[in-house]
Amino acid sequence: MTAPVLVTRDPALLDELRRLAAAAGVPLETERQVGTALRRWTSAPLVLVGTDVGVELAALSPPRRAQVLLVGTAPVPDAAFRTAVALGVDEVVEVPSRSAWLTELLTDLGDDDPVPGRVVGVVAGSGGAGATTFACALAQVAARDGTAVVVDTDPLGPGADRVLGLDGCPGVRWGDLGETSGRLGARSLRDALPSRAGLAALTWETGTLGELAPQVVRESLSAARRGHALVVVDLARSADPLVADVALRCDALVVVARSTVASAAATVRVVGRFADHPSVSLVARGTETVAEQVASVAGLPLLATMRDQRGLVERVDLGLGPVRGRRGPLARAARCVLDQVAG
């Protein structure tokens, strides 16, 4: 892993950030001269610029890039915010008041896989299409090759943890994150979720129902992406603006529909809500011939068709998850979708 870079001549700030880096378990390269720091400006995963050298560095007009923070000991002077604009930094951070937040950021840099995972949203084209079941099947199949998590944003669904058989596992649910503010660490979230064998779920506590705060959902989704190879979002079939916002954060959307006339009509309406999304496709339950007709009516590419899977209800009730082996209808359809939209 390439180490983050700190540019400062302030000994107190240097000591504090070295301490935070040590707590996060990541190396930290330090530079006193801004000219020398420019050599690492584009290659470092994170650049921390001390407020004591911010003006000097801004005068050199370094290229704009993400993951640059202006850091200073509290209270940060008002002039620092003008410097931040000149540098194009992401945020001005005061320590020690935001040391915990900064430690989480540094900890993420030390995660095993620095490449963010893929995010696939799943939404039902009509009622009873089985979108939650298919979302869980996607994650269950993906977890054979890496880490996967289902982020459940449908408050009226059965609960992703129950479908996956994780409802008896300890871990945080949406209610525990309801008062969360600031940045969520990828490793912290991954370790806190109910999980088993690389498969996790973020959903509601059984029997509870509450509104999701948009900022909490965004932070959770971002942390889940940084901490898992695949994130599957179970989207509610509703007109909630939060659904549209989350959908746009997905790399791909999969609409699950039944191969009936009524389902096709409903699917067309659902698809219309995601007209601005660059990657929307269809998975249909039923025969391939009828599924192709539904896809044609909806104007979507057909990724996979699947027949009903015998024993599905019993498997879920036993806590085994929806996927049965590698040759069942759900497993084959999930693998087909993963190969095409999740790499």
Based on the fold, state whether residues 126 and 84 are members of the same structural domain. no
User: What's the CATH number where 243 sits?
Assistant: 3.40.50.300
The residues facing 213 across adjacent strands are none
pLDDT score of 217: 92
pLDDT at 180 over 70: no
Residues 298/319, Cβ–Cβ less than 8 Å = no
pLDDT score of 74: 87
pLDDT score of 187: 79
Based on the fold, state whether residues 186 and 260 are members of the same structural domain. yes
Of the pLDDT bands very low, low, confident and very high (cuts 50, 70, 90), residue 90 is confident
Q: What is the mean pLDDT of residues 94-119?
A: 80
Q: What is the mean pLDDT of residues 87-114?
A: 82
Based on the fold, state whether residues 309 and 330 are members of the same structural domain. yes
Based on the fold, state whether residues 187 and 55 are members of the same structural domain. no
Q: Which of 46, 74, 109 is the last residue of a domain?
A: 109
Residues 183/153, Cβ–Cβ less than 8 Å = no
pLDDT at 100 over 90: no
H or E element in which residue 148 lies: strand 148-152
CA dihedral angle for residue 59, residue 61, residue 64, residue 65, rounded to 10 degrees: -70
pLDDT score of 324: 84
Q: What is the mean pLDDT of residues 122-133?
A: 93
Q: Name, in order, each residue with C-beta under 8 angstroms of 25's C-beta and a sequence gap of 6 or more.
A: 107, 110
Based on the fold, state whether residues 134 and 169 are members of the same structural domain. yes
Of the pLDDT bands very low, low, confident and very high (cuts 50, 70, 90), residue 178 is confident
Based on the fold, state whether residues 200 and 99 are members of the same structural domain. no
Residues 258-297: pLDDT tens digits? 988 899 999 999 999 998 899 999 999 988 888 899 999 9
pLDDT score of 112: 46
Residues 77-88: pLDDT tens digits? 899 999 999 999
Based on the fold, state whether residues 273 and 140 are members of the same structural domain. yes
What amino acid occupies position 15? D
Residues 20-57: pLDDT tens digits? 998 887 899 999 999 999 988 999 989 999 999 999 99
Q: Which of 80, 109, 138 is the last residue of a domain?
A: 109
Q: Which of 61, 76, 109 is the last residue of a domain?
A: 109
Based on the fold, state whether residues 192 and 253 are members of the same structural domain. yes
Average pLDDT in the chain:
90
- The boundaries of the domain holding residue 103 are 5-109
* Sole residue written with tokens 């959908």: 247
What's the domain count of the chain?
Answer: 2
pLDDT score of 197: 92
H or E element in which residue 34 lies: helix 34-37
Based on the fold, state whether residues 130 and 211 are members of the same structural domain. yes
Q: Are strands 118-124 and 29-31 parallel, antiparallel or unpaired?
A: unpaired
User: What's the CATH number where 17 sits?
Assistant: 3.40.50.2300
The residues facing 252 across adjacent strands are 120
